[in-house]
Amino acid sequence: MLNVTSPWALILSLLTAIVSISYYNNNPSAPEIRSPHCASWNAWYNPLRSGQVGYQANDWNILYHLGGNGPWIEKIDELETPGLEPPKGCVIDQVHMISRHGERYPTKSAGSRHLALLNRIKEANVVLNGSLSFLNNWTYFTDEPQKDFDQLTKTSPYAGTLQAFSTGVRFLTRYGHLLPLHGTTRLWASECNRVIETAQHFASGFFGLDWEKTEKAALEIIPETLERGADTLTPGDTCPKYIEDPAKGHDNGVNMLALFQDVYIPAIAERLINDENNSALGYLTNLEVYGMQEMCGFETLSRGSSPWCDIFTHDDWENFEYARDLIHYYRAGPGNPYAGAMGWLWLNATTGLLRSGPEAGTMFFSFVHDGDIAPLVTAMDILKDPKYDPFLPTTHRVEDRVWRTSSVMPMGGRIVFERLTCPTSSAKDPSGEEAFLRVNINDKIVPLPYCKSGPGLSCPLKEFVDHVERRRSEVGDFGEVCGLEKDVGYITFLRQG
């Protein structure tokens, strides 16, 4: 296991982030980024807090248009929903979280595209004009790309290490009453360095820096390998048909993305090259312009801001956001026929624990990738779109879509299931209790569109269980959908004790 949770490692990460924040706040060239940023204090749980008081929906903020390539942000939408405190008289007696890893550098594939473009610009040996003139005196945001690619960022206000640690502290603030007095709490992470490190830093924030030594918690690493079948946190790696299907499988997301890139990117390339007198650079391809937009988010994660953000218009960014929505929609969302069955695995395991209640354990924390959260969102039917599903257009951007992922699956994005026990009174049982489910996505309570009759727009647990059982018949059995024979068919490791 990686040794990233030593006190010195965490202290160094925190100090680095503090220095970065100080630089950012005193740097006049840094663009204004309004609340929320990083781990927003506006969304911190307080028993007296009654609603969302942070980011306003009419306040345009680039962090909400980076399509998962930016820092953690609070979820926003036009709906008025309850605050984070439990409904009056209710208590949270069990909590489940599935979280994307914290803020990271680009993957090797994306980073290689960035470096190829920058090398081409360097070899052209020309002076750039207009919005690209910053490149005459700019360096890439990592001096050691082959070392940093795929890893968590450790600098700027958006350090992935800091975000994971502060999320653990935030959860301790909200759910500290669920800590068991004795025994060890299990956490789960898929077998990838950045995912493992995220889980470790989260555990340090929640259970204390000495969580491994004192055995307050134990991290179980789940391999991202094909032979795991249904018993996995990463079903996209264990579903053979999904992997191999060229038309409707994993690659469908990239294919649909390319179609929309053809729609919105050529006009940007024309503006940057011809309108701004950069014809000496030659033609910019779709992937090169797309890479420029990617670098806005990734440089922001490592430096706190980026000049790449300023060369694109609001409309360009909303198109980029839509492009990112498309890749998720068709790769592992409602536009992919395998997604529902893949997402149902974690949903089913968690629903069983919700039915059992706190006797089965009070806390369950899982850490994965965005490609593993999209199937869960699909299986939950929480972003179901009666107008467009399962064909989100690639010929133009649609503003009235339900599928918006920037504030659902940012770096560090998390979906939390809270089991509520609330008083209920009836003629037969005037002093009884009933269980309900509440969903919290990135610090916003999100009512289930098909079930919100409980306190604070929660869902009666019995109704939620019925919905999950119905969804299995709709999305199909994982083994059958994926072409697996004699598969176990469900997750076995998600348990305490």
Catalytic residue IDs: 101, 370
Q: What secondary structure letter does DSSP report for 56? A: -
Best CA proximity match to 97, nearest among 158, 1, 186: 186
Question: Which stretches of 278-369 are DSSP H helices?
Answer: 286-303, 314-332, 339-356
Phi-psi category of 371—alpha, beta or left, where left has phi over 0 and alpha has psi -120 to 50?
Answer: alpha
Beta bridge partners of residue 190, listed in sequence order: 222
Token match 């740097």: residue?
Answer: 27
The span from the CA of 370 to the CA of 422, in Å, is 33
Q: Which CB contacts under 8 angstroms, 24+ apart, belong to 389-396?
A: 389/334, 389/335, 390/334, 390/335, 390/337, 391/335, 392/325, 392/326, 392/329, 392/330, 392/334, 392/335, 394/256, 394/259, 394/260, 394/263, 394/326, 395/259, 395/260, 395/263, 396/263
Best CA proximity match to 17, nearest among 299, 306, 303, 210: 303
Cis peptide before 36 (omega within 30 of 0): yes
Question: For residue 67, what are its two tokens?
Answer: 């399509």
The span from the CA of 361 to the CA of 110, in Å, is 40
Do 450 and 438 contact (CB within 8 A), yes or no? no
The span from the CA of 66 to the CA of 368, in Å, is 20
Q: Residue 179 contacts by C-beta under 8 Å, 6 or more apart in sequence?
A: 185, 207, 362, 363
- For 204-215, b/e burial (b = at least 16 CB within 10 A) is bbbbebebbeee
The span from the CA of 458 to the CA of 486, in Å, is 37
CB atoms closer than 10 angstroms to residue 464? 24
Helix, strand, or coil here: 220?
Answer: strand
Burial of 189 (0-12, 13-18, 19+ CB in 10 A): buried
- For 6-22, b/e burial (b = at least 16 CB within 10 A) is eeebbeebeebbeebbe
| Whole-Å CA distances, 243 to 224, 237, 238, 250, 478 | 13, 7, 8, 6, 14
The one-letter code for the residue type at 19 is V
Helix, strand, or coil here: 448?
Answer: strand
Best CA proximity match to 4, nearest among 141, 234, 195: 195
